[in-house]
Amino acid sequence: MPNVLVGQSGGPTSVINASLSGVVDSASKSKKIGRVLGMRFGIEGVLGDHLVDFAAEDPQVLKSLRHTPGSALGSSRLKLKDDQLPAVIKQLKKYDIRYLFMIGGNDTMDTINRTVKYAAEVGYELTGVGVPKTVDNDLFGTDHTPGFPSAARYVATSVLQAGILARDMQKVDQFVIFQTVGRSAGWLPASAAAARYQTGAPPHIILFPERAFDREAFLAAVKEAHRKHGFVSIVCGEGIRNADGSPVSASQTTDKFNNVEFGAMGGTSAAMILHRIISQEFGWRGEFQVTESLQMCAADRSLKLDVDEAYRCGAQAVKLALAGTSGVMVTMHRTNGKGESYAIDFGTAPLGEVANHERPMPANYITPDGFGVTKAFMDYINPLVGNLPQYVSLATKKSKA
């Protein structure tokens, strides 16, 4: 019987191993499949002949894998070169791999797409199906990606709690900036809006990669928010850019010697640049919070909905492959959209289209001023993040003598 090979690539999510479990469980139960193998550290494991046999793993470990953070097989960001494809096919032949599954984002879908196409060119029968994964939520063709709901909840709860802290510390720190991951899509910073438990609650300003950063408009919004609330809560995507396309993290902000401070080269984040802009303009003290990959691995904040959907996506990939469907990525679409009626069904998107397209925030999800989200976005995000913690506030009415 033909064998299965599965791998994980790119940055992890808190539920990527649930998708892996879905593939392994479904493939192991099939009477049409022989061995179920995994590639260690993505496609590098194929090239380096480092595959693992899931039959040799402890059944209890495999059962617990669904709720384990990180990428259990190990990940990779290796960009597969054309001259490496023959070596990949050689390895697939060696292990009689006829079903190939990879869990990841755009680059991962590009890898599996090119492998399946090359296999067809050289006459090697190979069925390949991609399983979506990214906290950025920017994959083409799907309502959302496994991993995004949990990361969105991480952002929303972090901004909720940090906003309460900022409110109570406003006599010390006048502003706080929370930076999310996301190079070109604003889905994660937008999800912070779910933290608003009452009118005027944080976040007050959201900055999206889809909108050019306007320094003057931003400073005006900061000033107005401070006037209204006594402090300012700001959320930004790491990939926000200036009007000329340059990253804000590589801003023209200069040091005391008039030297330009660049982004990654100087270890500067967008949040750090925004912090400096506000401090220089208003003389305020504030803080920035850059959590980096914590949004990708916070299993303590993962959602049951997200874990279940991730698992089902993995199982659906196996179902598609056994039915003869190849060259596609599993997608999800809503059959019911809001609240308790929310439900999803599965579809497919061609791997080539997923690999070559990104999915930015729709224009109707962002307010005209570019600093907030619309009701349409809230209707989209609320069923995904679920109910957030409820906190109380003192009335703080001034007592009478």
Q: Fold for 3-147+302-356, please state it.
A: Rossmann fold (3.40.50)
- Is the Cβ–Cβ distance between 328 and 350 less than 8 Å? yes
- Kindly tell me if the per-residue pLDDT of 339 is higher than 70: no
Q: Among candidates 345, 372, 331, 365, which has minimal Cα distance to 141?
A: 331
Burial class for 260, CB neighbours closer than 10 Å (0-12, 13-18, 19+):
exposed
Give 136-150 pLDDT, tens digit per residue. 999 999 999 999 999
Domain boundaries, the chain: 3-147+302-356, 149-296
Residue 56 pLDDT class (50, 70, 90 cuts): very high
Q: How confident is the model at residue 256 (pLDDT cuts 50, 70, 90)?
A: very low
pLDDT above 80: residue 216? yes
| 197 or 193, greater pLDDT | 193
Instruction: Give the model's pLDDT for residue 255.
Output: 39
Q: Above 60 in pLDDT, residue 13?
A: yes
Quickly state the pLDDT bin for 80 (edges 50, 70, 90): very high
Local confidence band at 267 (pLDDT 50, 70, 90 cut-offs): low
**Degrees, nearest 5: CA angle 103-330-88:** 45
pLDDT reading at 195 higher than 90: yes
Give residues with Cβ within 8 angstroms of 222, minimum separation 6. 175, 205, 232, 234, 278, 281, 282
Asked whether the CA dihedral 49, 51, 53, 56 is positive or negative, the reply is: positive
Alpha carbon 342 to its chain's center = 21
Residues belonging to the active site: 136
In this chain, the answer to whether the domains covering 3-147+302-356 and 149-296 adopt an identical fold is: yes
Does residue 296 carry a pLDDT above 90? no
Per-residue pLDDT, 265: 46
Of residues 190 and 338, more confidence is placed in 190
The answer to whether the beta carbons of residues 247 and 240 sit under 8 Å apart is yes
Domain 149-296: top CATH class: alpha beta
The pTM assigned to this predicted structure is 0.92
pLDDT at site 393: 87
What does the pLDDT read at residue 396?
87
Residue 144: enclosing H or E segment and its boundaries? none
Residue 337, pLDDT > 70, answer no
Q: Who wins on pLDDT, 285 or 263?
A: 285
> Across the chain, what does the average pLDDT equal?
92
Residue with tokens 């306007």: 214
Other beta carbons within 10 Å of 264: 10
pLDDT digits (tens, 9 = 90+) for 353-384: 999 888 999 999 999 999 999 999 999 999 99
**172/195 Cα distance (integer angstroms):** 23
Distance of CA 183 to the CA centre of its chain: 10
State the pLDDT confidence band at 338, using cuts at 50, 70 and 90: low
